[in-house]
Amino acid sequence: MTFTIYSTLSRKKEVFEPLNPPYAGMYVCGPTVYGDPHLGHARSAITFDLLFRYLTFLGYKVRYVRNITDVGHLENDSDSGDDKLLKKARLEQLEPMEVAKYYTDRYHDMMDALNVRRPSIEPNASGHIMEQIEMVKQILDTGFAYVVNGSVYFDVIKYNSRHHYGILSGRILDDLLSATRDNLEGQEEKHNSVDFALWKKAQPEHIMRWKSPWSEGFPGWHLECSAMGRKYLGDQFDIHGGGMDLLFPHHESEIAQSEIANGKQPCRYWMHNNMITVNGQKMGKSLGNSIMLEEFFTGNHKLLEQAYNPMTVRFFILQAHYRSTLDFSNEALQAAEKGLKRLMQAAKTLENIQPTASINDNENIKNIEKECYEALNDDLNTPIAISQLFEAVRIINSVADKKEKINANDIVILKNLFKNVVVDILGLKAEQNNNQSELLNNLVKMILDVRQQSKDKKDWASSDKIRDELVKLGIRIKDTKEGTDWEI
């Protein structure tokens, strides 16, 4: 089967053909580390974790690069705003790198909880200043950038005269000029309002600064991904991903500066995940409806009716196609929680199912397997794949209830399907919340106390029976001089 992905650039599904098979290069815009990760961060991370996992499953050797933005991210697109990280550092009276380190660790903790695999390489923007300076020099040498008062700007008008600024987003330059012509405050240095900063001269209050041929300053936001993508994946690589909110101006500007510096577009396929909404409204801090991931896990937010496991959040995100908007509601999350529990329980049930037929393979099971992989090959269509998994759940429960028969071959197909798709590709795993863990500990302790009482009475048969039943449930016990230890 052929794997197809939707390319934002061509606006159609394309067969994935890497530049250098079986190797595949993939760059994804990571977080700006000035605050805790929210549901939008989770959606992007899970989307491209899914892609990473699936390409690996298909046999590609994937180099996955995801950056950490810890410098140069301005508050707005006029290049005149405050760096968000610096604002946070001043607010909390910390060094900027303390803020970056703290929130990078927080991001990793949340992604680990969501079972998002770490990328192959995770470069920091602040650790690649020299590469960014080198790219600015190259762009200046071509005449597509200019220096004003120690800052360097990319000349979008000149670029558009030979290329197409707006090729990715579909924006028209004349419309952009009209929209910004009356809003030039803070942009006096630019030749044109649409030009963007490659390097900014640091003002006296700006803490994070580096020496360059033009001034002591810092790189523009768009530059880091082009420089780091080139360093780790080459002048052109296979896939560049990120959230839909990065499509313009960030990714549009990446294309322009990479085209000039490298002589070619940075990647073959652009992929964008869509937004999270709340009651149809975009989720955002300014609207007061943004929910941090930790708040999902604790339930500590006014919009949440309960706490939700990380795996419930992951499953909720995977139930929608990555290119569709995903609307948050407690009802949807609670339905995802029930659905995930049903799916994982069926996986447990499957482990104990024995063949009840010797011939007549169940054609429905083969169709489920076929359609599940066809859905994933069709631009990662997880909703269809998950619907097929629930058809498998129905069969498993029917066999367990002795309403259907199954042979050994079909059991193998189902077990492989659950391992490959549920665990390896979708990245789902059984998870217990803290209350369930405490309940399990207390139950096992109570059962072991009963077993100890049987041993004290020299009722070895009862003691052995309790041990054997626990083993059947997946709980192994070990008697020691200090007492009885157990593990799952």
d(CA 266, CA 235): 6
d(CA 202, CA 208): 8
Does residue 343 share a domain with residue 246?
no
Query: Is 25 within 8 Å of 61 (Cβ atoms)?
Result: no
Does residue 297 share a domain with residue 240?
no
Sort 485 into a burial class: Cβ within 10 Å, 0-12 / 13-18 / 19+.
exposed
CATH number of the domain residue 317 falls in? 1.10.730
User: What confidence tens digit (pLDDT) does each residue in 53-69 have?
Assistant: 999 999 999 999 999 99
**Amino acid 16: pLDDT:** 98
Query: Which of 377, 392, 425 is the last residue in one of the domains?
Result: 425
E strand map for 250-369: 267-273, 276-278, 281-282, 326-328
Does residue 130 share a domain with residue 50?
yes
Average pLDDT over every residue of 81-90: 65
Sort 420 into a burial class: Cβ within 10 Å, 0-12 / 13-18 / 19+.
middle
Tokens found for residue 141: 């040498």
Query: Which of 244, 273, 302 is the last residue in one of the domains?
Result: 273
CATH number of the domain residue 249 falls in? 3.40.50.620
Q: Output the DSSP codes for 392-455.
A: HHHHHHHHHTTSS---HHHHHHHHHHIIIIIIIIS-------HHHHHHHHHHHHHHHHHHHHHH
Which range marks the domain in which residue 415 is found? 278-425
Higher pLDDT, 286 or 322: 322
Query: Which of 373, 396, 425 is the last residue in one of the domains?
Result: 425
Does residue 421 share a domain with residue 449?
no
Q: Grade residue 454 by pLDDT with cuts at 50, 70 and 90.
A: confident
pLDDT at 82 > cutoff 70: no
d(CA 109, CA 311): 14
With CA atoms as reference, report the closest residue to 137 among 231, 223, 209: 223
Average pLDDT over every residue of 91-120: 90
Minimum mean pLDDT range among 260-269, 429-438, 439-448:
429-438
Query: Is 363 within 8 Å of 409 (Cβ atoms)?
Result: no
User: How many domains is the chain partitioned into structurally?
Assistant: 3
Does residue 477 share a domain with residue 351?
no
pLDDT at 472 > cutoff 90: no
SS3 469: helix
Does residue 478 share a domain with residue 452?
yes
Does residue 192 share a domain with residue 124?
yes
Does residue 89 share a domain with residue 160?
yes
Does residue 309 share a domain with residue 261?
no
With CA atoms as reference, report the closest residue to 195 among 137, 231, 147: 147
Angle at 298 between CA 320 and CA 487, to 5 degrees: 95
By DSSP bridging, strand 276-278 and strand 326-328 are parallel
pTM of the full structure: 0.85
SS3 309: coil
- Any idea which residue has 């309403």 for tokens? 403
Does residue 329 share a domain with residue 234?
no
pLDDT at 285 > cutoff 60: yes
Does residue 402 share a domain with residue 440?
no
By DSSP bridging, strand 267-273 and strand 281-282 are unpaired
With CA atoms as reference, report the closest residue to 213 among 137, 132, 135: 137
d(CA 423, CA 66): 23
Sort 486 into a burial class: Cβ within 10 Å, 0-12 / 13-18 / 19+.
middle
User: What confidence tens digit (pLDDT) does each residue in 397-432 have?
Assistant: 999 998 888 999 999 999 999 999 999 999 999 875
Tokens found for residue 414: 């189902």
Minimum mean pLDDT range among 188-192, 205-209, 376-380, 484-488:
484-488
d(CA 7, CA 23): 19
Does residue 101 share a domain with residue 48?
yes
CA distances 219 to 79, 96, 229, Å, are: 11, 16, 15
